Amino acid sequence: MIGRISFIGVVVIVFLVVALHLPADPLPQDTRVLNFDDSGFINVGADKMFYESMGKGPAIIFIHDGLVHRQIWDSQMPFFSQSYQAIRYDRRGYGNSPAPTKRYSIIEDLNSVFVHLKVEKACLIGMSSGGGLAIDFALQYPQKVSSLILVGAVVTGFTFTKHFSSRGGHLPPDLSGEQVNAYYASTDPYEMYSENSEAKARVMQLLKLHPNRDSKKYPLIPPAQLALRKLNEIKVPTLILVGEFDIPDVHAHAGAINAGIVGSRRDIIPKAGHLVPIEQPALFNTAVSDFLKSLFR
């Protein structure tokens, strides 16, 4: 009888332990835990932006694109923090950063990251519109930029075709809200390489964890100058990366940036669309690491 009671007691204990460790929230859980040295919020006027930092050494600031928040750089932060101070942040309306409450400048927001973290000079790694921001920042604050890594970047002053706006005729015109996110994460033929189901699943998870907030209510303060005609003023080492299967407009922008920034280098990452860092993290990290190492030879 005692043995039977003991056995039942063990079963009950095991059940309770398992039950206590089951997730109570049905929403998607992000199991990738990174250990940051510093994180928190930066005040930008009446609003705030969330940032994270890890590692020591020359600073690298990662700037996300217009679809996914800071966690698009999950495979880059631990890798580069071994030799650099790796910093990432959520632009207003993305990730942990609340939507803006008035007109604002994304250039000055990026400058606030420099000021808050006491960074005098940094390599900027920007993807898509984040790459365009990196270019605009380098023109306005050239003394603060040591080098540029532009990933599927676009540049202000260079136009887009109807093919781009319709995504080659694939984008349904009546999508809104989370439907747009779902389209880009699963259906769009250019956002990610068609055969990379793992990357698509990860992007969908990130968008469900942190849906983009309404940031268009308050329009951005435009840069003082369109960057296209000023690219020759950028004198820092620049690497331009584009996914093999990214949309033709992005390849055209990359060519214009390459032609405008004297001495810049342009490389194509195979089996990748627009979101290269999450599609081909190993190839991306190696390309960027080799480029940065070459600057110190």
Token pair 């998607």 is found at: 28
Task: Decide if 63 is inside a domain.
Answer: yes
Q: Residue 158 above 70 pLDDT?
A: yes
Read off the pLDDT of each residue in 135-158 and give the average, rounded to a whole number: 98
How is residue 180 written in tokens? 């747009």
Read off the pLDDT of each residue in 100-128 and give the average, rounded to a whole number: 97
The model's pLDDT over 128-137, given as tens digits with 9 standing for 90+, comes to 999 999 999 9
The model's pLDDT over 240-286, given as tens digits with 9 standing for 90+, comes to 999 999 999 999 999 999 999 999 999 999 999 999 999 999 999 99
pLDDT, greater one: 7 or 256: 256
The alpha carbon torsion through 272, 132, 265, 273 (nearest 10 deg) reads 10
Task: Decide if 170 is inside a domain.
Answer: no
Task: Decide if 281 is inside a domain.
Answer: yes
pLDDT score at 200:
96
Q: Residue 216 above 80 pLDDT?
A: no
CATH number at residue 60: 3.40.50.1820
pLDDT score at 296:
74
Give the length of the chain. Answer: 297
Read off the pLDDT of each residue in 123-151 and give the average, rounded to a whole number: 98
Q: Residue 22 above 70 pLDDT?
A: no
Task: Decide if 46 is inside a domain.
Answer: yes
**What's the rounded Cα separation, in Å, for the pair 20 and 25?**
12
Work out the angle between the directed axes of helices 197-209 and 178-186 (0-180°, nearest 10): 160
pLDDT score at 259:
98
Q: Which of 62, 122, 118 is nearest to 94 (CA)?
A: 62
SS (H, E, C) the chain: CHHHHHHHHHHHHHHHHHHHHCCCCCCCCCCCCCCCCEEEEEEECCEEEEEEEECCCCEEEEECCCCCCHHHHCCCHHHHCCCCEEEEECCCCCCCCCCCCCCECHHHHHHHHHHHCCCCCEEEEEECHHHHHHHHHHHHCHHHEEEEEEECCCCCCCCCCHHHHCCCCCCCCCCCCHHHHHHHHHCCCCCCCCCCHHHHHHHHHHHHHCCCCCCCCCCECCCCCCCHHHHHHCCCCEEEEEECCCCHHHHHHHHHHHHHCCCCEEEEECCCCCCHHHHCHHHHHHHHHHHHHHCCC
215 confidence band (pLDDT: 50, 70, 90): low
Domain that holds residue 248: 34-165+213-294
Task: Decide if 79 is inside a domain.
Answer: yes
Task: Decide if 25 is inside a domain.
Answer: no
Total number of domains constituting the chain: 1
pLDDT score at 217:
66
**In Å, what is the CA distance from 43 to each residue of 83, 97, 116, 210?**
28, 11, 9, 20
The β-bridge partners of 205 are none
The model's pLDDT over 161-207, given as tens digits with 9 standing for 90+, comes to 999 999 999 999 888 878 888 999 999 999 999 999 999 999 999 99
Q: Are strands 85-89 and 47-54 parallel, antiparallel or unpaired?
A: antiparallel
Burial 131-146 (b: 16+ CB within 10 A, else e): bbbbbbbbbbeeebbb
Task: Decide if 158 is inside a domain.
Answer: yes
Q: With 0.75 as the threshold, say if the pTM is over it.
A: yes
As a whole number, the mean pLDDT across the chain is 89
Read off the pLDDT of each residue in 8-19 and give the average, rounded to a whole number: 36
